[in-house]
A and B are shown apart, each in its own frame.
Chain A
Amino acid sequence: MSMIHKTATEMAQALADKSITAVELTKQHLDRIAAVDGDVHAFLHVDTEGALAQAAESDAKRAAGETRSVLEGIPLALKDVLTQKGVPTTCGSKMLEGWRPPYDSTVVSKLKNAGVVILGKTNMDEFAMGSSTENSAYGPTHNPWALDRIPGGSGGGSAAALAAFEAPLAIGTDTGGSIRQPAAVTGTVGVKPTYGGVSRFGLVAFSSSLDQAGPCARTVLDTALLHEAIAGYDERDSTSINAPVPNVVAAAKRQEVKGMKIGVIKELMGDGFQKGVLDSFKQSLDLLQEQGAEIVEVSCPSFDYGIAAYYLIAPSEASSNLARFDSMRYGIRVGDDGQRGAEEVMSATREVGFGKEVKRRIILGTYALSSGYYDAYYGSAQKVRTLIKRDFESAFNLADVLVSPSTPTTAFKIGERANDPLAMYLADITTIPVNMAGIGGMSLPSGLSADDGLPVGFQIMSPAMQDDRMYRVGGTLEAALNDKLGKPVWAQAPELVVK
């Protein structure tokens, strides 16, 4: 019997009671990928052999009574920005075509130690720069809800894989919304943990001070289980937090919010937000209130400068992080004809290897860090960042969690904003403040927009290292929505044509 439309929790149960093996479960997902990924294009690389080997090992462990975690034997889709030893890692860029990392990222080590089966690497905007996955050098990913629409970005591949039932679990990374915005537009759940909550070792850096890997799944509980598996202190990442991981699994299961104060951020709704999105958001607020939560309004005036500051800080760090791609040690090399010098070869390689958006941001960041401009641009942006943090601190004095729509609109059409970077950047207006402050953020589906029938995301934000709070609220809201709507949002996706 096919298990692909089940949750990871249900799959884990089936594995535990031996009604399916990890190899069978993996094969079902590999078959699904073969059947639908031609249309969806969620994967850049499917590691059939590796996944089946891991699954076989998992079955052997279970048979020997050595189950490694609750996720033992569950398949997962890995965003192609995290290294996995020996498996191609491109970051959606031509620059790294053919590169096989010699080491596992910490996230991958933890997944392997938990017995999770890694199916392959998912598509993304090049070096995680984008909100639609259209910036992938390997072609866009299509939203399983409507194939002519974007699946969000940069982690569109991971979110689409979940929505298309190609995997029950996925790993994303979130620099300005790259987990939460794709989750919102594909009707799935995505969490950006507190900065430092999950190790960045082996995560190919876009913007070091903002990047954070996180769990993605179709339900809040599945997301929490994956969160628990990948989180925790790592001595190889100096910015990782040396403190116990909040008990997100218990929080996801708690299913009650009585007496909790939920703060609605005034600045993250209103003008520019799609009506269907706002209606869905308000419906969720009502449900939370019915569950006994108190809804309060809070104001975060500095958020108005969030996007501007983000597009100075992230490109500045990116301009430096991406300098290493110079063809000397790995990746492609262009123009090495024995005549050209090293500088010319570096330049020719970067000309060919980087896409348009990456170049745009490298130029922007290089400019912002230049002597004479540093204070006005990078310096001012850092001040805005401090103000955003303070806004959050004040708001968290008034509320236990903060909420907003995850995105201003539902999924837009592929190509619609491709030539309008500013419109594209606005897709992350709601998610960016969370990264700027280093706190935790979750997007979970709150229903379908009445105006276009596409999924809407509800964002929950919790203070740093209090990630359990958003799981508590998310789990409660998810259950209330399932009651009200009759079935989960993700289960309402149109059937894909199976080839």
Chain B
Amino acid sequence: MALNYDQAVSKYEPTLGLEVHVELNTNSKMFCSCSTVFGAEPNTQTCPVCLGMPGALPVVNAKAIESSILIGLALNCSIAPYSRFARKNYFYPDMPKNFQTSQYDEPICVDGYLDVEIETDEGPKTFRVDIERVHMEEDTGKSLHVGGATGRIHGAEYSLLDYNRAGIPLVEIVTRIVPGTGKYAPAVARAYVTELRDILRSLGVSDVKMEQGSLRCDANVSLAPIGSGKLGTRSETKNVNSLRSVERAVAGEIVRQANRLEAGERIVQETRHFLEESGETRPGRSKETAEDYRYFPEPDLVPVAPDAKWIEELRATLPEKPSTRRKRLQEAWGVSDNEMASMVNAELLDTVEATIALGAEPARARGWWLGEISRLANEKEVHPTSLITAEQVAEVIALIANGELTDKLARGVVEGVIAGEGSPREVIDKRGLKVVSDDGALMTAIEAAIAAQPDTAERIRGGNIPAAGALIGAVMKATGGQADAAKVRELLLKHLGQG
């Protein structure tokens, strides 16, 4: 009988380890001035340096160093006064020099931690994840293997190589082993990657899009019998492309390993690939011999020795921790966990905050950005902030608040602003969307409605208040929806002796 997850974690203690690769969003590559923009024509963003041409030499991107230091500081690391790049030697066609320039035994940031909070059976609990190192390296090019059954290089008819990605700056964040998570290992893994992603986003150093590969996670999992005090052999799962997958991959590995151990089998130290559909992992290319990368210090680069004063200047620019900020805003705005999460996931927290700072009421600001504006943005497949500014939204909300616009009219104003018709005020003028609040004009419309439906008016006079709906509807229709319905109701009832 195969063990299920609950049975697995009741017998075995999992130990986690997480390696996260982050593509930095610098304008230029790690060691040359080529552009890093995603999605360009293959091999158009290359030069002698990133193509590994004979004689070309690397120069470290200062912005990448700054970003790496910011990451280290945000993760409570020490910044090494002296760190070096090394060469990791192996042959592969997508690596132009046949070595990867990467930090190895002298990384730029060491010894940090990140606290993550998860829900447990006993309520919220904080786990501390120790960070061993944060180091810089360069990305490889991309291979496309055409023909053949596997899509891998072996068996392919031919391969296409795109070196646009070769040399894009990467930062790798490696945790120490995380013991003692017990059955919460998958949740801790997910919470860690989530919190890390939010921190990186708040630092503005990466796009952190897991689906585009700008944030990639490898999850190391090992099991040992509970209480044994031992560490088991670990596997490393790659290809984990979403937060949910992080959680599923860890859980899946726990179940797989537990069942192997139950059957008396050995855990092989290997790389495994996560399968999105089944939530299982399959073994990667088996390695008959251990890879020997023949690391040695990169002689073409001088050591990275950041000035202590500069590090302190960077520390002073660190933004508020995302978890702290979320708590603060959640309290101030009175929104639920779910509402906060939806703002974060839609990458609209900053925008909503800015809108509120301009005087908008929190619920309305959130409602507009996540509702109507997000809907329109979805249709156009763009981010909401590319359609309209926080200032314009705040102005619309202010106009609703002072009664100059109804919600319905406001939608038209927003539509007009997005269509490029100008500021909210200009759209109101051009489209004639002003609320009809002139009592005289409204009274004319009300009298006309009464004249058209005298029976209904009689019933209202007789005390049948709900019947007013029909007349209000007629007035709204007559004014093209531009009247404030509450005002119409007030005037109507007063006119019929019920006010």
Q: Does B161 have its Cβ within 8 Å of any Cβ on chain A? A: yes
The 0/1 profile, CB within 8 Å of A marked 1, for residues 39-73 of chain B is 00000000010011111111110000000000000
Nearest-neighbour CB distance to chain A for B82, whole angstroms, equals: 15
Q: Tell me the bound Cα distance from A343 to B91 in angstroms.
A: 8
Let me know if B97 is at the binding interface, CB within 8 A.
yes
Chain B's closest residue to A95 (CB) is: B54
Knowing A204-B55, A324-B54, the reply to whether A369 touches B300 (Cβ < 8 A) is: no
Interface of B is mostly: loop
B55 A105 Cβ-Cβ under 8 A: yes
Asked if A236 and B59 sit within 8 Å, CB to CB, the answer is: yes
Given the known interface contacts A343-B91, A346-B91, the answer about A324 and B294 at a Cβ–Cβ threshold of 8 Å is no
> Does A82 lie at the interface of the complex (its beta carbon under 8 Å from any beta carbon of B)?
yes
Q: Does A202 contact B (CB under 8 A)?
A: yes
**How far in angstroms is the closest Cβ of chain B from A215?**
19
Contact with A204, one of B54, B96, B161 (Cβ below 8 angstroms): B54
* B51 surroundings in chain A (CB, below 8 A): 329
Q: Mark B62-92, 1 if CB is under 8 A from A, else 0.
A: 0000000000000000000000000101010
Tell me which residues from 33 to 89 in chain A have a Cβ below 8 Å from any Cβ of chain B. Answer: 82-83, 89
Tell me the minimal C-beta distance from B421 to chain A in angstroms. 49
A328 within 8 A of B: yes
**Complex Cα gap A369–B89 (Å):** 10
- B333 contacts the other chain (CB 8 A): no
Contact B154 A341 (CB under 8 A): yes
Complex-state Cα separation, A320 to B154, whole angstroms: 25
In this complex, what residue of A is CB-closest to B58?
Answer: A238
The answer for the CA separation of A350 and B96 in the assembled complex, in Å, is 16
Closest chain B residue, CB of each to CB of A235: B59
Question: Chain B's nearest CB lies how many Å from the CB of A399?
Answer: 29
Which A293-337 residues have a C-beta within 8 angstroms of B? 316-317, 319-320, 323-326, 328-330
**B161 & A103 in contact (Cβ 8 Å cutoff):** no
A208: chain B residues within 8 A (beta carbon): 299-300
* A112-120, A370-378, A448-456 - interface stretch: A370-378
Shortest beta-carbon distance, B309 to chain A, in Å? 20
Residues of A203-247 at the interface with B, using a CB-CB cut-off of 8 Å, are: 203-205, 207-209, 235-239
A82 surroundings in chain B (CB, below 8 A): 55
As a 0/1 sequence over residues 141 to 172 of chain B, the CB contacts with chain A under 8 angstroms (1 = contact) are: 00000000000011000010100000000000
Distance from B88 Cβ to chain A, minimum over Cβ atoms (Å): 10
Which A residues have a C-beta under 8 Å from some C-beta of B?
82-83, 89, 91, 96, 99, 101-103, 105, 200-205, 207-209, 235-239, 316-317, 319-320, 323-326, 328-330, 341-343, 346, 366, 369-371, 374, 378
Question: Nearest 7 A-B pairs (CB), nearest first?
Answer: A323-B98, A369-B294, A208-B299, A209-B299, A204-B54, A202-B55, A324-B52
Which residues on B are within 8 Å of A, measured CB to CB?
Answer: 48, 51-60, 87, 89, 91, 93, 96-99, 153-154, 159, 161, 292, 294-296, 299-302
Extra inter-chain contacts (12) besides given A238-B301, A239-B301, A378-B296, CB under 8 Å = A101-B48, A103-B53, A103-B56, A200-B57, A205-B300, A235-B59, A320-B87, A323-B89, A324-B52, A324-B97, A330-B53, A370-B294
